[in-house]
Amino acid sequence: MDLTKLLKPKSVAIVGASEKASTMGGDLLTNVKLWGKIENAYLVNPNYDTIFEHKCYRSLENIPVNIDLVVLCTPKKTIPDLLRQAAKKGCGGAVVFASGYSETRDAQGKQEEKELSALCKELGIALMGPNCGGFINYIDKVCGFAFIIEDRDRRGNVGFVSQSGQLCQSLMENTMKFSFMASVGNCCSVTVEDYMDFLVDDPDTKVVAAYIEGVKNPKRLAEVLKKAAIKRKPIVVLKTGMSEKGSKLASSHTGSMSGADKVFDAVIKKFGVIRVKDLQELIAISTVLATLPELPKKPTFSSMAFSGGETVVCADVAYLNGVEFPDFNQSTTDAIQAMLPYYATANNPLDMTFTMSYDSDIFAKALRTIMDDPNIGMCLLCFTILQNNVTPDVHTMIDGIEKVVRAGNAKPMAFIPLLENTREPKIIERLGKLGVPVLPPTNYAFAVLKYLADYISYSHFDKTLDLALPDIEEAAEAKGSKQTALSEFTSKELLKKYGLPVTGGAIAASEAEAVAIAGRTGYPLVMKIESTDILHKSDVGGVVLNIDNEKAAVEAYRRILANAKKNAPNAKINGVLIQEMAPKGLEMIVGVNNDPQFGPVILCGLGGIFVEIFKDVALYPAPLNKNEALKMLASLEAYPLLTGARGQKVLDVDALADAIVTISKYAADNKNTVSQVDINPLLVYPKGEGVRAVDALVINK
């Protein structure tokens, strides 16, 4: 969808324009006078001849030229007719503030929004809203935003799109600077994904930031995220729905479905998207990415402070957030030590002592020395900037920073205050011009730096950058239909065809068959109830292990059938599955859950009974490659068990990763039919000895 006439219009008509404060039309015009080009706006209101000394037209039809964008500050009932009038004037974009559509969650509101969407499609109009706050294009000075905010320069390079108007207002009252800012509401015509796509392609936008309450078009989102990953344009997302209550509130706000939060998290990580937990993190990481002249070459940091207390606090909070302070190499240590008083020690983080706060040349020399250390990717300056900075130390630091920047080849830098407070605007502005962002205090700061480190470490070259999205029509047909579970034998035979190593076995329908199969299989063996109606065999006494002779096999056969009849009397029994007793190995679980929006998602973790106890699992969307599978495994708390912890044997991690890829391929190939796959346990043996699935369950839609 072409959003040029919506977001970069040459001419704008404002219907419902007014001089009255606290009205959509009045507040919008106040903003247009401050940040827009009112001379390019055509005001429309039948009750006025002029507004703010500008000509006012009785209707859209009276405007003598064609228009690109119409902003409708009028009630809901007027919208359809006004859109038709605008279309006759060549209009290709519209902003609709009116509410009362799908966000009401009633049938009438949903139907009216559906009709509005169809009308826009018919007229070829890209509509922002309804139930929105509008937008500001700070680059071209186009204003269609109706919330009053403080007058100051906000022009920058962060493109922000939000389904909440109040969040837009909150961000604009902060120090963040924008290329575009849009409160997009219900997105009945243009989706959040469409706006993000526009911003990814926009040369004036360096960082794309978004507040999302739900995903309407997963395929479109995947395309946008893939494009951004390849372009290396950062996307920062604050998505609600992490909690059950948050998910319900998001749905009631804009009528959006938040979807399974853990699945969304896994999907965006695949594309290197930075997901933040709150608005402060969004502001901070967006500001860092927008302000730094270039990203650090390494995800490693140094810290410089004037006191031991600040240094220790930074070291501890960095550790808690997973931020790395590598040791200086020996030449850096020796050079810094020579600059310090005798009682100080050159470490990273560094307590410079106040002796370096009196001379900008000495500070600049120390900063340059640390920057030249090959172990360091970014330099952090831990110092609290006050509202009124009466002591010279902060100015000494900034003078030193300026000297280093002017000398060239400076590594990225950032200020970290120890406390939250109002900061002197002139200092923040001066640092910004030097490419040095000021972060929030330590806990937020190091959380944000961890996001930055992860983004630096991300590479799209070793990712698949595709999703096995379900086909819309087939998914709709399957919705609400009864699921069908396959038996263990059938499930394993199916996965075996894809190359998954499984334990062999056969089904006995009589005692005589049980004795014959047991003899061919060899002892010891295991026997299990075979029924599609019994998914958890142990719960009904349907499993017997370590059977080592014919007599025990007959007894096990009888006991399993008796237990099934007693504990699952309505189950259809196919017989008893007899299979080899696999040697002991580390029990892992590999599974699939088919998300209705994003398709199959692969799960792996510690298996057996431990999957429920520790819940140590990793999620990743299908399809995936071996490198992605290995990274899934490395993210587990239990990963040391695979790599020889405490003198244990190193296990066959390669074979386990291959098994994960195999299950991913099966899930992707069957994205429209498979619902769940559960392989638990998948036994992992010492390196070179492979893996084997001893139990499996496939459930189809």
Domain with 302 in it:
294-457
Domain end position, chosen among 291, 326, 343 = 291
Is 351 within the bounds of a domain?
yes
User: Which one-letter DSSP state was computed for residue 596?
Assistant: T
Question: Amino acid letter at 497?
Answer: K
Residue 574 confidence (pLDDT)? 93
* Residue 329 tokens, joined: 């190499």
CATH of the domain at 236: 3.40.50.261
| Mean pLDDT per 10-residue segment, the chain (701 residues) | 95 94 91 82 95 94 96 96 97 96 92 96 97 95 89 92 88 90 95 97 98 91 98 96 58 44 94 96 97 97 92 95 96 96 93 85 95 97 80 85 96 93 85 95 96 97 96 67 88 96 93 94 94 91 95 95 95 94 94 94 87 82 97 96 91 98 98 94 97 95 87
Domain co-membership, 244 together with 351: no
Domain co-membership, 560 together with 634: no
CATH of the domain at 104: 3.40.50.720
Domain co-membership, 174 together with 264: yes
* Residue 158 tokens, joined: 């962060």
Residue 246 confidence (pLDDT)? 52
Number of alpha helices (DSSP H) and beta strands (DSSP E) in the chain: 24, 29
Residue 248 confidence (pLDDT)? 53
Q: Whole-angstrom Cα distance, residue 239 to residue 279?
A: 10
User: Which residues have a Cβ under 8 Å from the Cβ of 409 and sit 6 or more positions away?
Assistant: none
Is 466 within the bounds of a domain?
no
Is 495 within the bounds of a domain?
no
Residue 552 confidence (pLDDT)? 95
CATH of the domain at 543: 3.30.1490.20
Domain co-membership, 592 together with 567: no
Q: Which of 644, 629, 639, 516 is nearest to 575 (CA)?
A: 516
Domain co-membership, 435 together with 369: yes
Domain co-membership, 360 together with 509: no
Q: Cα–Cα distances in Å, from 25 out to 31, 38, 77, 117?
A: 10, 13, 16, 23
Domain co-membership, 338 together with 404: yes
Beta bridge partners of 135: 144, 182
Is 139 within the bounds of a domain?
no
Q: How many domains does the chain have?
A: 5
Domain end position, chosen among 457, 482, 512 = 457
Domain co-membership, 438 together with 313: yes
Contact 89, 30 (CB under 8 A): no
Residue 133 confidence (pLDDT)? 94
Which runs of E-coded beta strand occur in 458-614? 484-485, 505-508, 525-530, 543-547, 575-580, 586-595, 599-606
Is 143 within the bounds of a domain?
no
